[in-house]
Amino acid sequence: MRWIAVFAILTVASAQTFPTFEVASIHPDVTGADGSVIDLPETGRLRVTNATLKTLIRAAWGIQNDQISGGPKWLDSDRYDIEARTAGPITEDQDQPLLQSLLADRFHLKVYREQRELTVDALMLAKNGPLFSKIFSKSTGTSSSIHTNHGPGESRIAVTGISIGQFAGMLGNRMGRIVIDKTGLSGNYDFTLVWDPDSTPGSTFPSVFAALQEQMGLRLESQKATVPVLVIDSADHPSDN
């Protein structure tokens, strides 16, 4: 994401012509839940539960944890619930600019971009894949949603209307490494992947590598790649509602 191309520091989405949220309410999360939810359907009503600023940045730029550099100490610890809405319906290509605008406005987020050569895992088709009929099918819905959960002996990613590229990003975040999509698969899908992150002997669930192959017909291969990195110049706790 070491040739570096540094762009001018940005006040996020300052020049966007996309719509913004008319109303946004942000509060510290008190649920203590393990997982987080980010849901932004075409109605333009955003619902975020138990998400850190790092999680919101990942969603706003479509990047992974290892593609985020710098930031305050609380970037991946303080968790928030957000309710927001636009004046009317939105399109899929407006999701990320809307989130970027919200982060600039309420978290005073400023960033710039670099390109770095890093070791990544390429998500590829396995010999038995893809296993669409067993695990997921083309989404026919008009909105997308992401539900993740992480606990002892079990990690789960359940999504609606998500591309395999987006899934690669979620998987990379959960594994603590960069995963890029090289499956060649297009379109959006609904699916659930469950695995044991600790590879516990006798576990009910397989390792992530076995789960990918058995449940989805996919595999991971280590490679070198030049990938974008988002460097955080500054960020604050969210302003009052």
Q: Once rounded to an integer, what is the mean pLDDT over residues 46-67?
A: 92
- pLDDT of 147 over the 90 cut: no
Q: Once rounded to an integer, what is the mean pLDDT over residues 168-186?
A: 89
Is residue 15 very low, low, confident or very high in pLDDT (cuts 50, 70, 90)?
Answer: very low
Angle (CA) 235-62-155 rounded to 5° is 100
Classified as helix, coil or strand, 33 is coil
Element spanning 102, H or E: helix 95-106
Query: What's residue 39's pLDDT?
Result: 87
- pLDDT of 139 over the 70 cut: no
CA 75 from chain centre, in angstroms, equals: 15
Residues 6+ apart with CB under 8 A from 30: none
Residues 6+ apart with CB under 8 A from 101: 12, 13, 16, 18, 20, 21
Is residue 201 very low, low, confident or very high in pLDDT (cuts 50, 70, 90)?
Answer: confident
Classified as helix, coil or strand, 61 is helix
Rounded Cα distance, 70 and 100, in Å: 17
Query: pLDDT (tens digit, 9 = 90+) per residue, 62-101?
Result: 888 889 999 999 999 999 999 999 998 888 888 999 999 9
* 238 token code pair: 């969210």
**When comparing pLDDT for 37 and 110, which is higher?**
110
Q: Once rounded to an integer, what is the mean pLDDT over residues 212-240?
A: 92
- The pTM (predicted TM-score) of the whole model is 0.67
Residues 6+ apart with CB under 8 A from 161: 139, 141, 142, 143, 144, 145, 188, 189, 190
- pLDDT of 8 over the 70 cut: no
Whether residue 192 contacts residue 135, with contact meaning beta carbons closer than 8 Å, is answered with: yes
Q: Once rounded to an integer, what is the mean pLDDT over residues 167-195?
A: 88
Which residues partner with 230 through β-bridges? 68, 113
Q: Once rounded to an integer, what is the mean pLDDT over residues 9-25?
A: 61
